[in-house]
């Protein structure tokens, strides 16, 4: 069953040191919460962003979030199509905190900058 024409690969933002902070966040969760978040990411990867049970919301520009239960997984879409999970956090109010948004924005700029460099090198 295909729910969306866009069925992205899912990968995690990686720091220069090789850490994947969003994956580490998921690993730190209680088993039940980890399963809910993992199930949503699998649904996206298997059926696309419009799959039943996948709640998403645009935060600003190219920055989006998945909303599994009380957690938030902030992401950006890049060529491929590929979903890059930038940041994970627990929802603590009606809006994402400024600190969480700042982290996600910074990582998004890094990912989009790398994407632009990759496109330029392909043109040469």
How high is the pLDDT of residue 79? 85
Give pLDDT < 70 ranges for the chain.
1-5, 116-124
Average pLDDT of every residue of the chain: 89
Q: What is the DSSP string of the chain?
A: ----S---EEEE---TTS--HHHHHHHHS-HHHHHHHHHHHHHHHHH-TTSTT--EEEEETTEEEE--TTEEEEEEEETTTEEEEEEEEE--SSS--HHHHHHHHHHHHHHHHHHHHHHHHHH-
How high is the pLDDT of residue 3? 45
How high is the pLDDT of residue 1? 43
Q: What is the pLDDT of residues 40-59, one digit of tens each?
A: 999 999 999 989 889 999 99
Structural domains present in the chain = 9-123 (3.30.2310.20)
């Amino acid at each position: 069953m295909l729910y969306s024409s866009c069925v992205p690969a899912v990968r995690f933002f990686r720091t220069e040191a090789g850490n994947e902070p969003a994956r580490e966040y998921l690993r730190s969760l209680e088993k039940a919460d980890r399963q809910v978040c993992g199930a949503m990411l699998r649904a996206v990867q298997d059926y696309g962003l419009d799959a039943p049970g996948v709640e998403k919301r645009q935060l600003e520009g190219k920055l989006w979030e998945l909303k599994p239960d009380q957690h938030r997984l902030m992401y950006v879409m890049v060529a491929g199509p590929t979903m890059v999970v930038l940041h994970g956090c627990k929802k603590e109010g009606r809006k994402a905190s400024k600190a969480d948004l700042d982290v996600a924005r910074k990582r998004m700029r890094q990912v989009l900058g790398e994407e632009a460099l990759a496109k330029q090198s392909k043109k040469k």
